Amino acid sequence: MTNRVVLAYSGGLDTSVCIGWIAEQTGAEVIAVAVDVGQGGEDLETIRKRALDCGAVEAEVADARTEFAEEYCLPALKANALYMDRYPLVSALSRPTIVKHLVAAARKHGADTVGHGCTGKGNDQVRFEVGIQSLAPELKCIAPVRDYGMTRDKAIAFAEVKALPIETTKKNPYSIDQNVWGRAVETGFLEDIWNAPIEDIYSYTANPATPREPDELVITFESGVPVAIDGRKVTVLEAITELNKRAGAQGVGRLDMVEDRLVGIKSREVYEAPGAIALITAHQELENVTVERELARFKRGVEQRWGELVYDGLWFSPLKRALDGFIETANEHVTGEIRLSLHAGRAWVTGRRSAVSLYDYNLATYDSEDVFDQSLAKGFIDLWGLPSKIAARRDQRA
């Protein structure tokens, strides 16, 4: 029986060439799998037909936008996940979604190998292969660009010789990855980290410096899940999509950063994530209102570790699964409404309310309604500071 390889297929030059390249190098039949996580562009049927025209024996396409939003973006929102305190894990979240479909296709079609189009310098090769190993340790992985030195020039030449139905002459100066949660742009002139981004690279966001009226909205959460905008019920996908448009129109969510890649190099990345940044901003503030202090303090450390695990390709790891349980529990009371103002590239909170709020006006106020017993403060301070006081006396004697 001929060996089969399931290939993560985007419809672009590299993965289109990979179909024939893999067949020539390994003698295997190739099954192309395209997964829509909101990257836009061509429709899935066009991509499926192209894969078949490029030599795939079978081609599958999946609209995974709702799955991606509910099973991957939502956990990131509940975790307030920002790698290096800034990056909302745009590409890192989509890879395990795609991996799940690749593994399912491999088992369905009897493939023993899964292929992808990643290079040897990036994070995605790790995310794909570790994810595949975690779900199906019996499967092998192949990466033609990395493993067989399939450079772009070679890919173009191969496509021309084989008369593949794909554009081979136009080269975008940037490497772009986008989905429902955001958009990532790198390479080209951006590799000189002194160069400022130009307006042409942006797609999800308008120029924040352009004068315009602010946009104010109210987001309703139930146990950490966004369920309504301005009183109108929404799904998670609808919430992200609407905020991508509204926050993006105000220039919210632009990031320009040098980040630490898993493979050990630093990389300059430009991101647009208007919906993600707006939702995380609102969710964090509602946590401030509804989550008890010690739980909130501990959760901040968990959030950082959770984000690092996802960035590093360990979505399916035991530690990530265990932290998921903690994050779900911590979100149990994150219910209420947050009013956001979107303007000039910023999303900031202007109001918050919750039926399960831990904010007590009568304890917080300095007016006549104050019920806080200030006479308790002195004894509390004395006891709280006693260990430090004892240590200070010791140090003075020494």
* Residues that constitute the known binding site for L-citrulline: 87, 123, 127, 175, 259, 271
Q: Is 86 a catalytic residue?
A: no
Which residue of the set 53, 146, 175, 324 is catalytic? Answer: 175
Q: Is 95 a catalytic residue?
A: yes
Annotated binding site for L-aspartate: 119, 123-124
Which residue of the set 48, 50, 95, 183 is catalytic? Answer: 95
- DSSP strand E in the chain: where? 4-8, 29-36, 58-63, 113-115, 140-142, 175-179, 182-186, 215-222, 225-229, 232-233, 254-260, 266-272, 336-343, 346-353
Residue 9 contacts residue 34 (beta carbons within 8 Å): yes
Q: Is 69 exposed, middle or buried (0-12, 13-18, 19+ CB in 10 A)?
A: buried
Q: Is 245 exposed, middle or buried (0-12, 13-18, 19+ CB in 10 A)?
A: exposed
Q: How many CB atoms lie within 10 A of CB 31?
A: 26
Which residue of the set 36, 50, 65, 124 is catalytic? Answer: 124
What tokens does 219 get? 């987001």
Q: Is 175 a catalytic residue?
A: yes
Annotated binding site for ATP: 8-16, 117
Report helix, strand or coil for 258. strand
SS3 assignment for 349-360:
EEEEECCCCCCC
Which residue of the set 14, 36, 177, 312 is catalytic? Answer: 14
Across the beta sheet with 266-272, what order do the strands follow?
Answer: 175-179, 182-186, 266-272, 254-260
Annotated binding site: 8-16, 87, 117, 119, 123-124, 127, 175, 259, 271
Residue 180 contacts residue 63 (beta carbons within 8 Å): no
Q: Is 14 a catalytic residue?
A: yes
Catalytic residues: 14, 95, 124, 175
